[in-house]
Amino acid sequence: MSMKFIKKIPTAQEIIGEMPLSDHIKEIKEQKDMEIRKVFQNESDKFVLIIGPCSADNEDSVCEYIGRLAKVQEKVKDSIIIIPRIYTNKPRTTGEGYKGMAHQPDLHKDPDLVEGIKAIRRLHLKALSEYHMPAADEMLYPENFDYLADMLGYIAVGARSVENQHHRFTVSGVDMPVGMKNPTSGDINVMLNSIKAAQLEHSFIYGGWEIKTSGNPLSHAVLRGAVDSYGRNIPNYHYENLTCLVKEYEKHQLLNPSIIVDTNHANSMKLYKEQPRIAREVLASRKYNSTLKKMIKGLMIESYLVEGRQDVEDGVYGKSITDPCLGWEDTENLIYYIAENL
């Protein structure tokens, strides 16, 4: 067997026991969770912004960023719910490169998954306890979800994972909104079938147990653009794309039909500064079409303290080491623009 067993990973119960949520923070989170759920249940007209770094690479800079978001959230609270991105697992097309804080908590040391699991729980716990903002994370590895399940406010399933049955079944047992991205091919039916699977109940093996889930009625679509057979990016946030998705949603007869638009990735042609323009176009489409206004619940935006990206050795505080992000000034201006133009 060509696997080397390094060390036993602590269970989620053991890690949570080391770093529990206080009763006070649990109460605050329940209130915030209810506010987010109401948006996806069509019981609230608030607009959701899932916003933050491409990957959470440093506890201090991520928390400073969230602290700034918290101040802006107070100013736009009547119309917007901000969900900070704390993405602690980073999908890699070839498996090479930085795989996220869960894999490598210290950028200057070798990977350490036990310390990584502790680091990501500590980061999420600090953000929630200090700023009272349940965060979003990506479900790259389904069984890692247990380590953060009591703290997250939103989950995304990425373009490369959305066709995976384990992801779909796991989402069916999650009791929070989960965005299912369209695959890199752009096939909308793959995404909608994934949403349908997540909304149904299932029996399967999870964490060494046979389990049964009740289905997640808050699983929904995330449009992130596509990549063709020649590697060219193809946006899917335009008005025609959105109205086409509405029609396909109706055919599949899914619960709580909702759309989130990812303003980066293939939608921006990987040009991060295009994100404000894309956001403005989506807002215009919502204003023009009452059905879109009802179904488009929010945006995903990649943003950090310093714009652009860097290599690890550059060491710029608050600048992405994965995909390039908007800087803080442009981010703050964009949030206020969105609040004024819903």
Phi and psi torsions of 84, nearest 5°: -65, 140
How many CB atoms sit inside 10 A of residue 246's CB?
17
Return the pLDDT at 46: 98
Distance CA 185, CA 190 (A): 9
Give pTM, 2 decimals. Answer: 0.97
pLDDT tens-digit profile, the chain (342 residues): 688 888 899 999 999 999 999 999 999 999 999 999 999 999 999 999 999 999 999 999 999 999 999 999 999 999 999 999 999 998 877 878 888 899 999 999 999 999 999 999 999 999 999 999 999 999 999 988 999 999 999 999 999 999 999 999 999 999 999 999 999 999 999 999 999 999 999 999 998 899 999 999 999 999 999 999 999 999 999 999 999 999 999 999 999 999 999 999 999 999 999 999 999 999 999 999 999 999 999 999 999 999 999 999 999 999 999 999 999 999 999 999 999 999
β-strand partners of 247: none
Lookup: tokens for 9: 């990973």
Write down the CATH superfamily of domain 12-340: Aldolase class I (3.20.20.70)
Phi and psi torsions of 223, nearest 5°: -90, 125
- Strand 203-206, strand 209-212: pairing: antiparallel
Distance CA 242, CA 220 (A): 14
Lookup: tokens for 156: 């995304």
β-strand partners of 47: 80
**59-76 vs 328-340: helix axis angle to the nearest 10?**
20
Return the pLDDT at 90: 84
Q: Structural domain boundaries of the chain?
A: 12-340
Return the pLDDT at 1: 65
Secondary structure of the chain as H, E, C letters: CCCCCCCCCCCHHHHHHHCCCCHHHHHHHHHHHHHHHHHHCCCCCCEEEEEECCCCCCHHHHHHHHHHHHHHHHHHCCCEEEEEECCCCCCCCCCCCCCCCCCCCCCCCCCCHHHHHHHHHHHHHHHHHHHCCCCEEECCCHHHHHHCCCCCCEEEECCCCCCCHHHHHHHCCCCCCEEEECCCCCCHHHHHHHHHHHHCCCEEEECCEEEECCCCCCEEEEECCEECCCCCEECCCCHHHHHHHHHHHHHHCCCCCCEEEECCHHHHCCCHHHHHHHHHHHHHHHHHCHHHHHHEEEEEEEECCEEEECCHHHCCCCEECCCCEECHHHHHHHHHHHHHCC
